[in-house]
Amino acid sequence: MLALTACDRTPPDYRPLVTLPLYTAGDADNGALIYEDACSQCHQLNPGSNKKGPQLMNIYGAPAAELADYKYSEGLSNSGWIWDAETLDPYIADAEKAMADSKMLADPMPDASERADVIAYLSTLRDEIPALDEDGFPIKGGDANKSADITPDKGSASTSNEQSKMTNEPVDVSSDPAQKPAADFR
Ligand code: HEC
């Protein structure tokens, strides 16, 4: 069969949502700061946006080298590792020591408590896979109008009562944090 060539962009790949509990032996807030400093120049958190290294959303508990849209080293691809505290700790400590053929040329992180903080932060990175179109790209604003099923008020007999507002009004969904842009925020 002929492969479809309508779209030559590689669709973003997504890791499934994390099922492990949060890692609490470190301080995730401090880990976020360390991550910013030591990891973010090579790693992104948006599916589809791989930098020098693969994006890291939903990495905690995920099999190593899982993303189809990133080219991993053979070593990591064949490692069979699952990214939990036990594998992340030596990898973050010194990737080239943990994996001879590693593509990750990051500075070693000798401080165990810093590593625990980073692992705690990584364990907070959780995001659902959005609705995808048939090519595997996220559908932009896909569900935005789903609940806009408001029938117009027909009887105009509303007795001008500003004060008798319903206490049960639906909340504004426009600020729903789930409705975030699908990709490319950096
Ligand atoms: C100089 C760039 C660079 C820096 C800095 C860096 N990484 Fe990486 N990282 C990579 C590359 C490249 C890979 C792919 C490794 C391979 O294929 O062997 C990778 C892979 C990973 C993976 C495996 C991802 C997967 O899908 O299996 C994790 C986890 C990871 N890095 C975490 C971190 C953390 C945490 C830090 C900060 C402490 C960090 N990295 C700093 C470049 C970097």
pLDDT tens, residue by residue, 157-166: 444 444 444 4
pLDDT of residue 160: 45
Q: How far is the CA of 88 from the centre of ligand 1 (A)?
A: 10
| Structure token digits, residue 101 | 């053929």
Select from 35, 16, 14, 19 the least CA-distant residue to 121.
Answer: 35
Please indicate whether residue 92, judged by its CB atom, sits closer than 6 Å to ligand 1. Answer: yes
Mean pLDDT of the chain: 82
The span from the CA of 93 to the CA of 9, in Å, is 35
Please indicate whether residue 42, judged by its CB atom, sits closer than 6 Å to ligand 1. Answer: yes
Please indicate whether residue 18, judged by its CB atom, sits closer than 6 Å to ligand 1. Answer: no
For residues 163 and 16, the model is more confident at 16
Element at 120 (helix H, strand E): helix 112-122
- For residue 99, the ligand 1 atom closest to its alpha carbon is 18
For residues 173 and 94, the model is more confident at 94
End-to-end CA distance of the chain: 38
- For residue 119, the ligand 1 atom closest to its alpha carbon is 35
CA-nearest residue for atom 40, ligand 1, is 39
Residue type, 147: S
Residue 148 has pLDDT above 70, yes or no: no
Q: Which of 59, 99, 104 to mutate to test the pocket of ligand 1 (most atoms within 8 A of CB)?
A: 104
Which of these CATH numbers, 3.50.50.60, 1.10.760.10, 1.10.10.10, 3.30.70.1560, describes 28-122?
A: 1.10.760.10
pLDDT of residue 90: 98
